[in-house]
Amino acid sequence: MRIGKTAKGVLALASVAVMLMFSEMNAGTLLCALIGSVLVLLGLVSSYRPASFAGFVIATGSAALSNDPGSLTVLASWLNAAVGLFIPAYILAWVSLGSGVEDSGDFIFKSRANAYILAFIAACLLSVPVAAFVTGVFAPQISTAASVLMEIAIILTVTVAGVIILTSQRPKSGRLED
């Protein structure tokens, strides 16, 4: 599937708009999100990946600072984190990293590489509810109310394990392709 520059620009603006809708931003973080989205679009138009990636980091950083999902053991908080931050950040990263000169204005959707990334995101998102469920099943006398630091520790552990697994794989042709 090929996506042109115009469609990528619309996807970038839509993902930033979704991040803005789910966040509680003050003037400073709103300004950072807007500067980041402008950098993504400028990098996309000029086919300059570093500017686009810097805009991605600024936009998602400001959205992450202002999006407070609370505990990830509650379904509403989990959906807020998934729909309001992770999915738009994934789309924005997809757009910003596909804005180089060698792309010639098109982006090829590689299903195997994207499947790895989506599985990694799902593992990180579902790690806290799964840990709470396993604790409740095997040790019901222990409280299943997880503190924020415990949730962060679980997510970081799963993230590190996922990064180790993903970076230890060696693609056949040197690139993750179909």
Band of the pLDDT at 168, cuts 50, 70, 90?
Answer: confident
What is the pLDDT at residue 178?
Answer: 46
pLDDT at site 174: 54
More confident residue, 4 or 157: 157
Rounded to whole angstroms, how far apart are CA atoms 32 and 166?
31
- CB 70, CB 128: distance < 8 Å: no
- Residues 90 and 71: beta-carbon distance below 8 Å: no
Three-class SS state of 107: strand
- Higher pLDDT, residue 91 or 142: 91
Mean pLDDT of 153-158: 86
- Report the distance separating Cα 144 and Cα 131, nearest Å: 9
Q: What is the pTM of this model?
A: 0.61
Q: What is the pLDDT of residues 26-62, one digit of tens each?
A: 888 888 888 888 888 888 888 888 888 888 888 888 8
Secondary structure of 34-87 in the HEC alphabet?
HHHHHHHHHHHHCCCHHHHHHHHHHHHHHHHHHCCCCCCCCHHHHHHHHHHHHH
The average pLDDT across 63-88 equals: 75
- pLDDT tens for 101-111 read 565 444 555 67
- Give 107 or 136, the one with higher predicted confidence: 136
Buried b (16+ CB within 10 A) or exposed e, 96-123: bebbbeebeeebeeeeeeeebbeebbeb
pLDDT number for residue 98: 73
Residue with tokens 């599985």: 119
pLDDT for 68-78, tens place per residue? 777 766 777 77
**Can you give the pLDDT at residue 133?**
83
